[in-house]
Amino acid sequence: MRNEEVARILFEISEYLEMQNIAFKPRAYEKAAQTIADLEEDIQTIADLEEDINDIYKKGGLKALEEIPGVGKSIAEKIEELLKTGKLKYYEGLKKRTPVDLSQFSNIEGLGPKKIKVLHQKLGITSLEELEQAAKKARIQKLEGFGPKSEENILKGIEFARGHKGRFLLGYAIPLAEKIESRLKALPGVEKAIIAGSYRRFKETVGDLDMLVVSKKPKEVMDYFVSQPEVARVLAHGKTKSSVTLENGIDVDIRVVLAKSYGAALAYFTGSKDHNVAMRIIAQKKGWKLNEYGLFDGQRQITGKTEEEIYKKLGLTYVEPEMRENWGELELSLKNKLPKLIGYGELEGDLQVQSNWSDGANSIKELAQTAVKQGLKYIAITDHTKRLAMAHGLDEKRLREQAKEIDRVNKEMRGKIKILKGSECDILKNGELDLSDDALKELDIVGVSVHSYFNLPKEEQTERIKKAMQNKNVDIIFHPTGRLINRRKAYEVDMEEIIKVAKETGTVFEIDAFPDRLDLNDENIRKSVEAGVKMSIDSDAHSIGHFGYLELGVAQARRGWAKKSDIINAWPLDKMKSFLKK
């Protein structure tokens, strides 16, 4: 059982207790849950982290659990039961005694157990559907303690909770998708096999996978496709089209097309739909018709074999899949003015890497050796700072010790890679930093980030980050909006203002490439590119396996129309370093 799950159950217990008007106890459970959730938040969703709650328990037993801030004897025992058995009798009992399943409301902001209780008592609400109906009928705003504003927030919250249902993180879909793609490529008679759709556009999440195959033996392809080991359910099994649901919940559609239509089908199924519609209009203006079979002048196929030919015939330069969102790319393409996007494999360094000095799993040397294998020429070691005690954040003294270790490894690895001294320094609530300026001054790379107080009012949050950027030692804002895809919204912040100050102060924004972060997102990357704010693409690695995520960051950068000149760690070390604030 992961930290997140333990925290969720403790939270729920506090809510059930609160619904029963029990005093004090709810607060204790909430506090314990918060500590455990923060633990998870700071170290992210990493399977091999050293200090997850299981490890704490394994190493130190019940006593170690009690040492977690906010966890007393009674809660520690409950955590122990959870970790040992995966269940908790106390929790099950509470659940049974309450008529409403609270967990379904957990994503809706501002709707605590007290309010849920009122909604249940006054309106008989027990589910999201009933909540939505009541809100839409404006029945909620009439209740005491609610108003039109909270009713609106409830509707927004429901939308948010639903909107993410069934979308999968691209980064976690890739390994299996690649496996399926290469299996199909290897089938006899298959000329081409490729996954199109949002997957090919590298959208941060994918709804399903859309596979396209060119083969003269469609029946064999279909039969093989539906019988793969990961298939949980066959939704359709046709002659040239099939659909399945995989064990992990992702749907995969497949279509077999003729070689002469491959380009047209690929363009069609890559989308986006809006890009396709705009393309079709361009064709229509020339008196032609564009569909998934080709570009046609009446009955005659003008072209359709490749995407490149289709763009060309339409008077367009080729548009990279990552740009096909109808965000203005076709206008630029018509004028031959598309930006030259940063390429895959063009990064020379990685500016956010955590070692086992804080919550990473590997030593500095192991990280450096792996980075060399990945073709990187420099990495910055950026361990957490002391405020993140549970992640073993570094204080000034340990940072100085670490510097010596980095010097030592640099000597050993001379000529192979350069290890930079860095930090992922916490931005405190008031915008001050978790390390002294004297300590920060000694570092090559100072990254700063928000790991607490996500819910500050927009103005305060904006001021907090502005203040951090105004510190002359600060080079990069790590994961600038703090969102976790499908789990946590970005904190409220005035992005335009932040971008302006970044430009003024020469502060770099990070594109954190971790699959559930991808922060900045595509839209904010574009705004930054337009404003001339430079960015870095970092893995946020917490173990040697995570360097592979860098390319996901490159994809995101491409979706934000970033060029090599926008990304400082695509530059040689000297150039990158001389760009940073002095």
Positions that interact with Ca ion (CB under 5 A): 197-198, 208, 210, 253
Using CB positions, name the residue nearest to ligand DGT: 271
How many residues bind ligand DGT (CB under 6 A)? The answer is 14
In this complex, which beta carbon is closest to ligand DGT, that of residue 269 or of residue 357? 269
Residue 277 sits at the vertex; the CA angle it makes with 559 and 236, to the nearest 5 degrees, is: 90
Q: Residue 406, Cα to own-chain centre: how many angstroms?
A: 30
Structure letter (DSSP) for residue 249:
S
Q: What is the 3-state secondary structure (H, E, C) of 252-281?
A: EEEEEECHHHHHHHHHHHHCCHHHHHHHHH
Footprint on this chain of Zn ion (rule: CB under 5 A): 354, 359
Amino acid at 51: E
SS3 call for 165: coil
Nearest distance from C-beta of residue 545 to Zn ion, angstroms? 15
φ/ψ of residue 41, rounded to 5: -60, -45
How large is the angle between the packed helices 128-136 and 113-123, nearest 10 degrees?
70
In this complex, which beta carbon is closest to Zn ion, that of residue 198 or of residue 354? 354
443 binds ligand DGT (CB under 6 A): no
Strands 294-297 and 289-291, by their bridges, are antiparallel
Spatial distance between the Cα atoms of 260 and 184, rounded to a whole number of angstroms = 20
Nearest distance from C-beta of residue 335 to ligand DGT, angstroms? 24
In this complex, which beta carbon is closest to ligand DGT, that of residue 198 or of residue 461? 198
**98, 276, 370, 521: which one binds ligand DGT (CB under 6 A):** 276
271 binds ligand DGT (CB under 6 A): yes
Nearest distance from C-beta of residue 170 to ligand DGT, angstroms? 9
Residue 434 sits at the vertex; the CA angle it makes with 428 and 436, to the nearest 5 degrees, is: 135
* Residue 127: other Cβ atoms inside 10 A: 12
When CB distances are held under 5 to 8 angstroms depending on the partner's kind, the choice from Zn ion, ligand DGT, Ca ion, none that residue 548 binds is none
Nearest distance from C-beta of residue 47 to Zn ion, angstroms? 14
When CB distances are held under 5 to 8 angstroms depending on the partner's kind, the choice from Ca ion, Zn ion, ligand DGT, none that residue 354 binds is Zn ion
Radius of gyration (C-alpha) of the chain in whole angstroms: 26
Token digits of residue 32: 């314990």
In this complex, which beta carbon is closest to Ca ion, that of residue 208 or of residue 519? 208
Nearest distance from C-beta of residue 175 to Ca ion, angstroms? 17
Nearest distance from C-beta of residue 169 to Zn ion, angstroms? 18
When CB distances are held under 5 to 8 angstroms depending on the partner's kind, the choice from Zn ion, ligand DGT, Ca ion, none that residue 408 binds is none
Amino acid at 435: L
Q: Which positions from 207 to 236 touch ligand DGT by CB under 6 A, shown as an x/- string?
A: xx-x--------------------------
DSSP string, 492-521: P--HHHHHHHHHHHTPEEEEE-STTT-BS-
Length of the chain equals 582
Q: Which positions from 163 to 202 touch ligand DGT by CB under 6 A, shown as an x/- string?
A: ----------------------------------xx----
Asked if 357 and 383 touch (Cβ cutoff 8 Å), the reply is: yes
423 binds ligand DGT (CB under 6 A): no
Asked if 9 and 91 touch (Cβ cutoff 8 Å), the reply is: yes
Nearest distance from C-beta of residue 272 to Ca ion, angstroms? 10
Footprint of ligand DGT (CB under 6 A): 197-198, 203, 206-208, 210, 268-269, 271-273, 276-277
